[in-house]
Structure 1
Amino acid sequence: MQSLPNGATTPSTTEGQSALELVLSLQHAFEQKLPSIQDELQTFSWLRDEGKHGGGLRRATSLGPHYDRASINVSSVHYDDDPARSLQSATALSTIIHPKNPLAPSLHCHISLTHMKDGRFYWRLMADLNPSNPVKEHEVRFRAAVRPCCAHLVDYAEAQGDRYFFIPALNRHRGVAHYYLEAYHTDDFEKDLEFALRFGEAVIDVYSGILEDSIHLKYSEADLAKQLEYHTTYFFQVLTLDRGTTSGVLVHDQNDVGIMASLPSHVDKELLKSWAEHMPPIQKPLLKGLIQALPNLHPAPVDDRTRAELAKVVRAHYTAHPEALKFQASGDVTPPTVQNHKPK
């Protein structure tokens, strides 16, 4: 099983260490169970403040025979040595899978623990199925596997997911099944840890099975056209609405490419331009900057250099216009992620 890169220190607390073990085990499970991915994976690492405050390890693919883009990222940041910060540690698994076959759905899964120095802790659990060519059976299988994990919270988790992944400018959701629990916790850390593990394992198992049945299917040019349109929609949602992505680039600039690893390999610039008229005025310059950062090609490739430029655009926009953050996606609870990382 993988570990954090050499030079990266790890959290000192039992809670932080347990969360790190959890996300590393889920990262390994993704690697082992996703069909035909082993030969396509490469390892990328980054250090927070040269490793003094942790770092991360990303297992990723790029335009291989079966995956358009796949990123299985573990990060662990802590401030054990800094009394000026109220955050003890933040540990996360962030996964996005974009299969190359347009009949196979994409997946997003995020599981993270925030542990504060005053002893408070809370989890963020997300899982959503994102097809470019929807197949009802895939949605039914996904819901049947994830719903039992959420127990009495399932209706709330689905409602929060549908709220978070709605795209107002396009009057549509990003995917077909969304689960989202923000600031989740009980008074029993071990019980919550087990809940997070059960949630992650259910998502991995059901999605791997769906891919097994769809990743080798024959597809048409029309299916590919729908995939490009959907990948453009995904790009638009992540870079203009996703609060997690925005918080990541606002907290630091030491993992810009990794944070942007969720983006698909190609998008349609003209389609992006057509959506500007439906955005709030303050957000239109953001979309314009994102479009300008893309190569002038059709479809426009989104490589690592472009990812780095896109992160700069997002960071510059919200630094100059913090009031625009109110247009970011949210559920009932909006975590103070950026503030947590700042000195008191």
Structure 2
Amino acid sequence: MNDAMDGQKARASEWFRELRNRILAAFEGLEDAATGGSPADAAPGRFEMTETSREAGGGGLMSVMRGGRVFEKVGVNVSTVHGTLASRAQQAMAARGVPGMAEDPRFWASGISLVAHMQNPHAPAVHMNTRMFWTPHAWWFGGGSDLNPCLDYPEDTKHFHATLRHACEAHGADYYPRFKAWADEYFFIPHRGRARGVGGIFFDDLNTDDWEADFAFTRAVGEAFLPAFVPLVERRMETPWTEADREAQLIHRGLYAEYNLVYDRGTKFGLETGHDANAVLMSLPPLAKWV
């Protein structure tokens, strides 16, 4: 059984890297395709890759593009880490009902995490991640994707959600309504009394006792990302924009930063388990504003 789980871990880790490669190629393709808008004279953006490490075990690859034609900042990180959970992370896992944490706090985790902040205020920011987590007593998958426009286009929101719905429905009739509702709750900013965007899906602790089925669903969520997001970028990336549009974008980014620093599980887990801080905080926008 341990050999089987080791093989499953390796498959999951490799798939996260494969998805990363596809996304990087698609985003650099968008940079090549952009011919107008602002900054029109910028060279097509390219990702810079940096190896990341965790002193207690494991590491990953941080891929960041800054100052491109389409993306002001986008990061696509993959990591596979292992070790022993620190006491705060151990307590948090125990509080979520993960069995055996008091007796054996060893863990293994692998995943992909993406956040894109756009040059054009009409193009929406976006977040996506998928991951697998293992302890000696349990395993599960988690992830999702959500759209964060500063200037709302109902047709963009409709397309994004329809693509995610289609991905979910092939794996569970109740998955989309359940995970959409979870995203609406999870990506809410209590101290602002509002959501950080127009939602998407979010799931965690997914273990139906069928690893293959749960991994297939997790792959479907990751594979739905590009068809959900890229058409929106292509539609909006060269739309003329004003200084008022830019102001709205910077203020909206402030909400995004607040959420990720105060509430996001992934940010907390990464910092508490000693992963590379630059990789953990990759999600923060390059510029933001508060009023």
> Structure 1 length normalisation: TM-score?
0.70
* Alpha-carbon separation, structure 1, partners of 2:8 and 2:145: 23
What whole-Å deviation, never above 9, does each CA across 1:34-62 have from its counterpart, x for those lacking one? Answer: 2117742110111222xx72101011112
Query: In the alignment, does 2:12 pair up with 1:19?
Result: yes
Query: Which residue, 231, 245, 249 being the options, matches 1:227?
Result: 249
Matched with 1:276 is: none
Query: In the alignment, does 2:77 pair up with 1:48?
Result: no
* Matches for 1:6-155 after TM superposition, within 5 Å: 13-34=6-27, 35-36=30-31, 39-49=45-55, 53-79=57-83, 85-118=104-137, 120-151=138-169, 152=173, 153-155=175-177
Query: In the alignment, does 2:284 pair up with 1:263?
Result: yes
What whole-Å deviation, never above 9, does each CA across 1:292-312 have from its counterpart, x for those lacking one? Answer: xxxxxxxxxxxxxxxxxxxxx
* Alpha-carbon separation, structure 2, partners of 1:168 and 1:24: 34
Mapped contact 1:97–1:108 kept (Cα < 8 A): yes
* Alpha-carbon separation, structure 2, partners of 1:70 and 1:168: 26
Alignment-mate amino acid for residue 32 of structure 1: A
Query: Which residue, 180, 186, 193 being the options, matches 2:215?
Result: 193
SS at match of 2:120: coil
* Alpha-carbon separation, structure 1, partners of 2:235 and 2:181: 28
- Judged with a 3 Å threshold, the aligned counterparts in structure 2 of structure 1 residues 109 and 212 are, in CA distance, closer, same or farther, namely same
* Alpha-carbon separation, structure 2, partners of 1:85 and 1:26: 32
* Alpha-carbon separation, structure 1, partners of 2:19 and 2:149: 23
Alignment-mate amino acid for residue 15 of structure 2: L
Alignment-mate amino acid for residue 122 of structure 2: L
| TM superposition shift of 1:231 | 0.7
* Alpha-carbon separation, structure 2, partners of 1:85 and 1:79: 11
| TM superposition shift of 1:79 | 3.7
- Judged with a 3 Å threshold, the aligned counterparts in structure 2 of structure 1 residues 208 and 224 are, in CA distance, closer, same or farther, namely same
* Matches for 1:135-214 after TM superposition, within 5 Å: 135-151=153-169, 152=173, 153-214=175-236
What whole-Å deviation, never above 9, does each CA across 1:162-214 have from its counterpart, x for those lacking one? Answer: 00111111111011022111101222212221111111111122211211111
SS at match of 2:117: strand
* Matches for 1:218-297 after TM superposition, within 5 Å: 218-252=240-274, 254-269=275-290, 271=291
Alignment-mate amino acid for residue 41 of structure 1: F
Structure 2: gaps spanning 5 or more residues: 33-43, 85-102
Alignment-mate amino acid for residue 25 of structure 1: E
SS at match of 1:40: coil
Matched with 2:39 is: none
| TM superposition shift of 1:160 | 0.6
| TM superposition shift of 1:85 | 5.0
* Alpha-carbon separation, structure 2, partners of 1:60 and 1:197: 23
* Alpha-carbon separation, structure 1, partners of 2:126 and 2:185: 18
Q: Which of 183-192 and 20-29 deviates more?
A: 183-192
SS at match of 2:209: coil
| TM superposition shift of 1:240 | 1.6
Q: Which of 139-148 and 207-216 deviates more?
A: 207-216
SS at match of 2:111: strand
| TM superposition shift of 1:88 | 4.2
Mapped contact 1:71–1:97 kept (Cα < 8 A): yes
Mapped contact 1:33–1:205 kept (Cα < 8 A): no
Mapped contact 2:58–2:82 kept (Cα < 8 A): yes
Structure 1: gaps spanning 5 or more residues: 1-11, 272-344
